Amino acid sequence: MRTPTTPLLAATAALACLALAPAPTVLVGSTETQGHVLTDTDGHTLYVHDGTLCTGPCTATRHPLRTTADTTPALPPGIAGTLATLPRPDDGTLQLTYDGAPLYTYTGDTQPSETNGITPDWHTVPARYLPTG
């Protein structure tokens, strides 16, 4: 015989699942020119580069999105893709990647969701929503 689930048990189970899920490491912001893009937890637009890893003088304006070994990279619910880390060759810290591409912020973006860092080689990271239903 099947025991009916009470609303309290269902709510408790849902909260337990939420408690086990890591907090998002990146968020989604809405921009004027690029639509919905990935941002850091302060709302600053994230960028990827077409070429090599940004090291040395490049990091003066392009800050690698760093994390720690005890942080589990997590996208917001409903966003497709894979967050991971890579050790930086210049200082050994961990940098977040999205679908294998290292993530950066741009020092010229002083307000959340600005996109001043777009160039022919630097691009925002579109938020790809998972299909529903």
- The answer to whether 83 touches 74, Cβ cutoff 8 Å, is yes
- pLDDT value at 68 more than 90: yes
- In contact, 96 and 41? CB cutoff 8 Å: no
**With bands split at pLDDT 50, 70 and 90, how would you rate the model's confidence at 102?**
very high
**pLDDT reported for residue 8:** 38
Q: Give buried/exposed letters for 6-44 (b at 16+ CB in 10 A, else e).
A: eeeeeeeeeeeeeeeeeebbbbbbebeebebbbbbeeeb
Confidence of residue 20 (pLDDT cuts 50, 70, 90): low
- CA–CA separation, 47 vs 43, rounded Å? 13
